Structure 1
Amino acid sequence: MSAEITQFYETEFAKNWEMKVQQKDSRLLPTVTTDSFRGKRKWYNQLDAGVMTEVTERKGDTPDGDTTGTKYWIYRRKFEFVRTWDEDDEMQLGSIALPDSDEIASFTAAEARTKDDVIIQAFDGTRKVGETGTETETFPSGQSVPATYPPGGPMVSMGLTVQKILRAKKILDENEVDDEDRYFVTSSQQLQDMLNITEITSGDYVNVKALVDGEVSMFAGFTFVRSERLPVDGNGLRSCFAYHKSGIRWADAGRSVHIDVLPNKRHARQLRGVCRMGAVRVEDKRVVRVLCDETPGVS
């Protein structure tokens, strides 16, 4: 049976691959202190603040004094990215390219996101301290701004507000954290919250709108960084963080990329990217957790 010519029209297809929308770079790595190590763990030494004593007598005995401090530890964590292709995949794809080089780019993007995840976990995670690194130290409640802040009014959870930002600033100020290199990491929802709340004065609104629009990145002494990877608990509370660059230490422990033929898998071709890293909160006083409600109808 004859067919119309339209049924013979050719269908064309792309021969290459495109990456779906995703975060491709680490946004938090430039905001923390970086280091490197090769063992399974590494310790750091912290010196306690000193105190001066007044001299009230002539030719008196010189008092004794010892150096005191603490140890905290960073532990290596290992992550991998694996793609495996059957020995016939390249042939059966025909003119479509095998996405091996594209998957290397995908590994690099995944590694960047993993760096941010490890840093985020260090903000308020349990850290190892002490002489042998077996003691644990949890994040103190006094370094948190609750979702219901400010106190004194109805106990209503809210999104991010100017009052919460100023409270985080006050905590860092009272802890004598350096004014420079302060950061505040939030999701896009928190920036939107600040435009919606009624407490903002006209002057605040202009500054916040410029922040949301990307025209400026500074507010209340913080450089704001957006991350959609901050944790949200079962009650819809997202943990945002105000911190000093010296408050988090991230350490690189090596990376490698392997492309191999696997004889035991019928000569399948495998790409395997490996990265090793760790992060730790340097000192509790340099980090503030700010809880923000993201449940519908809030803010």
Structure 2
Amino acid sequence: MSQFVTQMHRTKYRDSVKLSLQQKDSRLLKTVTTVPGSGELMKLDDLIGEADYYEKTSRHADTKYVDTPHDGRWLAMPDPIVYADLVDKEDKLASGIEIEGAYVRAGGAAIARGTDAAIIRGIYGTAQTGLKGTILTPFDNNNVVPVNEGSGGNVGLTIKKLNAANEILRANDVDLDEEECWMPITAKQNSNLLAEIETVNKDYGATGAEITNGMVRKLFGFNFAHIELGNPRLKDAAALTVDGNNYRKVPFYTKTGIYAAMWEELFSSIDQLPTKHFSAQVYARRQVASTRSEEGKVGYVLCNEA
């Protein structure tokens, strides 16, 4: 028993968790831009704002210089996302570290949910901006589609609401010919859209709909990520996805509108603990934080899920 945690076990577990995350990682990670993280406070980007032009009205006129606005986006180093459990039998450990083993599935799923939670916090939370990251920028409430948009009542997700979200992005000068647009939706919003598509377009053509296995994948220029935003295992992040009236805040954004910085993509290990009667500890960790890169590229649609 004292020698059963070998390098082979550690390597097998590490490779299996890594492969598991490659195959089935966070529901939202594919929808955002990922970058490496470093330092206690990381400058994410230099944003160059819209500059004015002027017209040269006379010969040999002096050159005039415009004041091009600059801004920055910052991320503080986050607390790590951790999965850990104890195993007290060698045969149980050996079976649990195969690619389909229980500890691989549990560890991979825990890391993935923690990543989703970090991205959700970045979507709705206060962004650190300015030249030194000292300015706190809240979510722009001008980028919200109301719950009664295009109808006489408070309804779920509709094509009219998708069009309103699209209009918000275009009005913010987002180039939708170049940008990849995403909208994470729950099973309820998926059902809303299926009913809408069936009503307005029997052949699923004119709306640009793509549907596989009863799940809407694309519609009106939006790609859909399917995730239960209210999942209690997302912890505090789940509460950010509802407003004071308990309407779901369904986010929409471009892929470049949300950044996720990885301080540590994956660390995993198996170790024997004398303080736990030499049980084996299986352990996995990721360190990730997220933020909006530009306010005009992110919004949300209020939806009634009743």
2:256 is matched with which residue: 238, 242, 246?
A: 246
Inter-CA distance 67–208: structure 2 relative to 1 (3 Å threshold)? closer
Segments of structure 2 that go 5 or more residues without pairing to the other structure are 1-22, 231-237
The 1:96–1:275 alpha-carbon spacing in structure 2 relative to 1, beyond 3 Å, is closer
Please name the residue that 1:84 is paired with: 86
CA RMSD of aligned residues (A): 2.7
User: AA paired with 1:187?
Assistant: T
CA distance in 1, matches of 2:191, 2:118: 26
One-letter amino acid matched to 2:82 = E
Amino acid of the structure 1 residue aligned with 2:227 = S
Aligned to 1:274: 285
Distance across 2 between alignment mates of 1:291 and 1:235: 10
* 1:27–1:116 Cα contact (<8 Å) kept: yes
Moved more, 218-227 or 168-177: 218-227
Q: Could you say which residue in structure 1 is the equivalent of 2:187? A: 188
Counterpart amino acid of 2:162?
A: I
C-alpha offsets along residues 99-145 of structure 1, whole Å, 9 cap, x if unaligned? 64131342122212222221122112111112332321111111011
Query: Separation in 2 of the partners of 1:212 and 1:191?
Result: 12
Q: Secondary structure at the match of 1:217?
A: strand
2:106 is matched with which residue? 106
- Distance in 1 of aligned mates of 2:217 and 2:42: 34
Q: Does 1:287 align with 2:298?
A: yes
Structure 2 counterpart of 1:61: 62
Q: Structure 1's 289 and 137: CA in aligned 2 closer, same or farther, altered over 3 A?
A: same
Supply the distance in 2 between the matched residues of 1:246 and 1:114 (Cα, whole angstroms).
21
CA deviation vs aligned residue, 1:142-188 (integer Å, no higher than 9, x gap) = 101111213xx64x311001110000000111112121311222112
TM-score normalised by length of structure 2:
0.77
1:215 positional shift: 7.9
- The aligned residue for residue 11 of structure 1 is none
Counterpart Cα distance in 2 of 1:62 and 1:142: 37
How many positions carry a matched residue from both structures? 264
Answer yes or no: is the 8 Å Cα contact 1:33–1:246 preserved in 2.
Answer: yes
Kindly indicate whether the alpha-carbon contact (under 8 Å) linking 1:195 and 1:205 is maintained by their aligned counterparts in 2.
no
> Which one-letter code corresponds to 2:56 in the other structure?
V
1:172 is matched with 169
Paired letter, 1:193: N
Bigger mean CA offset, 182-191 vs 229-238: 229-238
Residue 84 of structure 1, CA deviation: 1.8
> What CA distance in whole angstroms lies between the structure 2 residues aligned with 1:267 and 1:64?
70
Pick closer, same or farther for the CA change 1:204–1:157 going to 2, 3 Å: farther
Partner of 1:121: 121
Describe the shift of the 1:198–1:281 C-alpha distance in structure 2 as closer, same or farther (beyond 3 A): closer
Once the two structures are overlaid, the 10-residue window that deviates more, 42-51 or 209-218, is: 209-218
Match runs of 1:189-204 below 5 Å: 189-196=188-195, 200-203=199-202
Stretches of structure 1 that go unaligned for 5 or more consecutive residues are 1-22
Structure with bigger helix share is: 2
Q: Which amino acid aligns with 2:52?
A: V
For 2:298 and 2:222, locate their aligned partners in 1 and report how far apart those are by CA, in whole Å: 13
Number of the residue aligned with 1:74: 75
Cα deviation for residue 216 of structure 1 reads: 6.7
| SS of 2:89 mapped into structure 1 | helix
Q: Distance in 2 between matches of 1:159 and 1:215?
A: 16
The DSSP-based 3-state class of the residue aligned with 1:294 is: coil
Cα–Cα, structure 1 residues 198 and 104, in superposed 2: closer, same or farther, change >3 Å?
Answer: closer
Q: Please tell me whether residue 147 in structure 1 is matched to residue 147 in structure 2.
A: yes
Deviations 1:172-223 (A, max 9, x none): 1111212131122211211211344599424586758853745873211112
- In structure 2, C-alpha distance between the alignment counterparts of 1:171 and 1:204, rounded to whole Å: 28
TM-score (norm 1): 0.78
Which residue matches 1:27? 27
Question: In structure 1, what is the Cα distance between the partners aligned to 2:181 and 2:208?
Answer: 17
* Residues 231-260 of structure 1: CA deviation (Å, up to 9, x unaligned): 453644212122111100111111311211
Checking the alignment, whether the CA contact within 8 Å between 1:248 and 1:281 is kept in structure 2 is yes
Partner of 2:3: none
Separation in 2 of the partners of 1:76 and 1:142? 29
Would the aligned equivalents of 1:74 and 1:279 in 2 still touch at CA under 8 Å?
A: yes
